C-alpha cells in the first residue's frame, strides 16, 4: 500500500501498480506504454468499467526530478479505485483511464540513486554528455524554440524528433488509443500553472477558448480546499516558448479535444524538493480539479 507522506522509488510504484491489478482484477489491467534505453518498461494501469467509453490519459514523471508528479498520478488512480464520493465514482465509471505515473523510468531511478536533480533520460549522447529532455523530443516543431541542440544542456532535444525510445514507444502507444482520447493530462512541477498548447505560438487553436474556460473553472475548483492559486494559459504566453513537448504533439497530431500540462506545487520556495508534508494537500487539490475537468469534459464532446 502507498502512504501519501513519502516519495516512492520506481520499484515501490511498480509493485503498487501490480497490487492494484491483483486487488481489482475486473476493473484494472496492467499496460505497457513503452520501453527505455536501460531496458525498463513504462508501466501503467488501465481502469475500465466497460467498453465504448471515452478515455483520459495521465502522463507523470517525464522529468525525473519532479517527484510530486508520479505521486499525484498515483493518488488520482487510488482515488478512482477506492473513493465512495459521488463525483469520483462517476469519473471512474464514465471514462476509461490510462495511467502512467513514471514515463521516464531510467531518469527517475537515477534521481533516487545518484543525482536528485536529474531531469532527462539516461542515454549517452556524446563522450561527456548523457540524456535527452523527453519533453523536447516529440515530433512537433522539434528544436524550433526553447530547446537546445547541445547534448550537455538540460533541455537537449535529442539528435532528431522521436530519437528516444521512451518518446517513440509512448507516442506509438498513444496513436493506438487516439480515437478514444478525450482528455490528456501531463504532470510536471513546479510553479502552480495549468498550461495549454502550443509551446511555439500564442495564436489560439480551434477550441482554445473553450479549453481555456474549462481550465480556468477547474483551477477554481482546485483553489477551494487550500486557497492554492494556479494561473491558466498558453505555454508560450505564461512561462516560455518551448517546442517538442508531449502535449503539443498530442494536440496537433492526435487531435485530442482537451489537453493540459500541470505545473504542480509549489511556486518556488522548495521547488523540485517539495516537502513530503505537501504531497497529500497537493494531491487532494489536484484531484478536486481533475474531477471538475471530468465533469466539464463529459459535456464537451
Ligand atoms: O519546460 C518544460 O518542459 C515544462 N516545464 S518544467 O519546469 N517542468 O520543465 C513545461 C512544458 C510545457 N510545454 C509543453 N508541454 N509543450
Ligand atoms: Zn517538467
Model pLDDT for residues 56-99, shown as the tens digit of each residue: 999 999 999 999 999 999 999 999 999 999 999 999 999 999 99
Is 299 inside any structural domain? no
In a domain, 238, yes or no: yes
What is the tens place of the pLDDT at every residue in 130-153?
Answer: 999 999 999 999 999 999 999 999
Output phi, psi for 297, to 5 deg: -60, -35
Residue 205 has pLDDT above 90, yes or no: no
User: What's residue 2's pLDDT?
Assistant: 87
CA–centroid distance, residue 241 to ligand 1 (Å): 9
Residue 22 lies in a domain: yes
First to last CA, the chain: 36
Task: Please identify every residue annotated as catalytic.
Answer: 263
Q: How far is the CA of 62 from the centre of ligand 2 (A)?
A: 7
C-alpha distances in Å from residue 212, one per residue of 25, 115, 168, 206, 258: 37, 37, 29, 11, 10
Domain assignment present for 4: no
**Beta strands at 55-60 and 96-100: parallel, antiparallel or unpaired:** parallel
- Does 199 contact ligand 1 (Cβ within 6 A)? yes
- Rounded Cα–Cα distance for residues 182 and 297 (Å): 7
Question: What is the predicted pLDDT for the residue at 131?
Answer: 98
DSSP 156: B
* Residue whose CA is at the smallest distance from ligand 1 atom 16: 245
Do 233 and 212 contact (CB within 8 A), yes or no? Answer: yes
Question: Taking 80 as the threshold, does the pLDDT of residue 301 lie above it?
Answer: no
Contacts of 31 (CB under 8 A, 6+ apart): 43, 44, 45, 46, 98
Closest residue by CA, ligand 1 atom 4 = 188
Q: 184, 196, 242, 253: which to mutate for ligand 1, most atoms within 8 A of CB? A: 242
35 lies in some domain: no
Q: Is 60 near ligand 1, meaning CB less than 6 Å away?
A: no
- Ligand in closest contact with the CA of 247: 1
Ligand nearest to the CA of 146: 1
The residue segments making up the domain with residue 245 are 10-30+50-169+180-277
Task: Output the CA 134–ligand 2 centroid distance in Å.
Answer: 9
Domain contains 290? no
Residue predicted with more confidence, 237 or 260: 260
In whole angstroms, give the CA distance from residue 232 to residue 212.
Answer: 7
Cβ–ligand 1 distance for 43 under 6 Å, the answer no
- Calpha distance 193→19 (Å, rounded): 32
In DSSP terms, 228 is beta-bridged to none
Ligand nearest, relative to CA of residue 140: 1
Name the nearest CA neighbour of 261 among 34, 103, 36, 33: 103
pLDDT of residue 202: 84
Predicted confidence band at 221 (pLDDT cuts at 50, 70, 90)? very high
* CATH number of residue 88's parent domain: 3.40.630.10
The verdict on the CB of residue 245 being under 6 Å from ligand 1 is yes
Quick one: pLDDT at residue 207?
A: 94
Q: What is the pLDDT of residues 102-135, one digit of tens each?
A: 999 999 999 999 999 999 999 999 999 999 999 9
Number of domains in the chain: 1
Burial of residue 219 (CB within 10 Å: 0-12, 13-18, 19+) is buried
Q: What is the ipTM of this complex?
A: 0.94
**Ligand 2 ion: residues within 5 Å (CB):** 63, 66, 188
In a domain? residue 174: no
- Residue 195 Cβ inside 6 Å of ligand 1? The answer reads yes
Average confidence score pLDDT of the chain? 97
Cβ atoms of 198 and 249 closer than 8 Å: no
Residue pLDDT, tens place only, 222-257: 999 999 999 999 988 898 899 999 999 999 999 999
Does pLDDT of 1 surpass 90? no
Residue 44 lies in a domain: no
Q: What pLDDT does residue 137 have?
A: 98
Nearest to 99 by CA among 190, 168, 31: 31
pLDDT score, position 256? 97
Is 62 a pocket residue for ligand 1 (Cβ < 6 Å)?
A: no
Amino acid at each position: 500500500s502507498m502512504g501519501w507522506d513519502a516519495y516512492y522509488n520506481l520499484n515501490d510504484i511498480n509493485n503498487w501498480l501490480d497490487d492494484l491489478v491483483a486487488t481489482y482484477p475486473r476493473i484494472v489491467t496492467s499496460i505497457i506504454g513503452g520501453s527505455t534505453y536501460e531496458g525498463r518498461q513504462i508501466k501503467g494501469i488501465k481502469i475500465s468499467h466497460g467498453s465504448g467509453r471515452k478515455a483520459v490519459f495521465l502522463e507523470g514523471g517525464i522529468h525525473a526530478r519532479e517527484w510530486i508528479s508520479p505521486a499525484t498520478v498515483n493518488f488520482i488512480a487510488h482515488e478512482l479505485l477506492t473513493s465512495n464520493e459521488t463525483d469520483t465514482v462517476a469519473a471512474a465509471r464514465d471514462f476509461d483511464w490510462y495511467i502512467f505515473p513514471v514515463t521516464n523510468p531510467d531518469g527517475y531511478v537515477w534521481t533516487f540513486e545518484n543525482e536528485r536533480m536529474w531531469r532527462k533520460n539516461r542515454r549517452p549522447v556524446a563522450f561527456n554528455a548523457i540524456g535527452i529532455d523527453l519533453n523536447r523530443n516529440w515530433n512537433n516543431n522539434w528544436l524550433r524554440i526553447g530547446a537546445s541542440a547541445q547534448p550537455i544542456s538540460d533541455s537537449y532535444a535529442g539528435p532528431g524528433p522521436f530519437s528516444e525510445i521512451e518518446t517513440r514507444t509512448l507516442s506509438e502507444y498513444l496513436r493506438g488509443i487516439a480515437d478514444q482520447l478525450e482528455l490528456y493530462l501531463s504532470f510536471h512541477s513546479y510553479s502552480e500553472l495549468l498550461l495549454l498548447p502550443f509551446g511555439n505560438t500564442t495564436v489560439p487553436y480551434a477550441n482554445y477558448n473553450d479549453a481555456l474556460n474549462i481550465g480556468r473553472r477547474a483551477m477554481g475548483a482546485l483553489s477551494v480546499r487550500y486557497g492554492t492559486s494556479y494561473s491558466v494559459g498558453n505555454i508560450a504566453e505564461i512561462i516560455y516558448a518551448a517546442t517538442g513537448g508531449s502535449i503539443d504533439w498530442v494536440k496537433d497530431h492526435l487531435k485530442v479535444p482537451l489537453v493540459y500540462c500541470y505545473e504542480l506545487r509549489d511556486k518556488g520556495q522548495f521547488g523540485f524538493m517539495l516537502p513530503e508534508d505537501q504531497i497529500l494537500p497537493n494531491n487532494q487539490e489536484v484531484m478536486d480539479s481533475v474531477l471538475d475537468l471530468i465533469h466539464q469534459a463529459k459535456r464537451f464532446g
